[in-house]
Amino acid sequence: MNWLLVLAGAAIGAPLRHLTDRAVQARHDSVFPWGTFTVNVAGSLVLGLLTGVTSAQAHLLLGTGLCGALTTYSTFSYETLKLYEGGARAYAAANVTGTLAAGLGAVWLGAEASRLF
């Protein structure tokens, strides 16, 4: 039965990732992958918030399912490589450092916020 929770979360997370990526990227006239950056940071925040939730079902639905389908390490890696190969090395470096810093900051902020509830 647990796999149904993961499936349900992923069924929401995957389209949410695609729609968010397209909406964010359409607003920026830049080679920087703002859409992927946004979904990865948002997913980190949600995972941080989940640290205060004790329900295993919520973790399967929201953590594994939703955030697993929403966030994307592979696309982050691919886009960073393409930036580097395309000569946009400063953007590639900014993508790596910015994603790591913002993702860690977001998960920390979410974890801290979860302690308030």
What residues contact 83, with CB distance under 8 A and at least 6 apart?
Answer: 31, 32, 33, 89, 91, 92, 95
Question: CA 23, 78, 50: angle at the middle one, nearest 5?
Answer: 65
* Structure-token match 């389209």, residue found: 15
* Structure-token match 């695609």, residue found: 18
* Structure-token match 């900051």, residue found: 105
Is 71 annotated as ligand-binding? yes
Provide the annotated binding site.
Answer: 68, 71
Q: Which residues contribute to the annotated binding site for Na(+)?
A: 68, 71
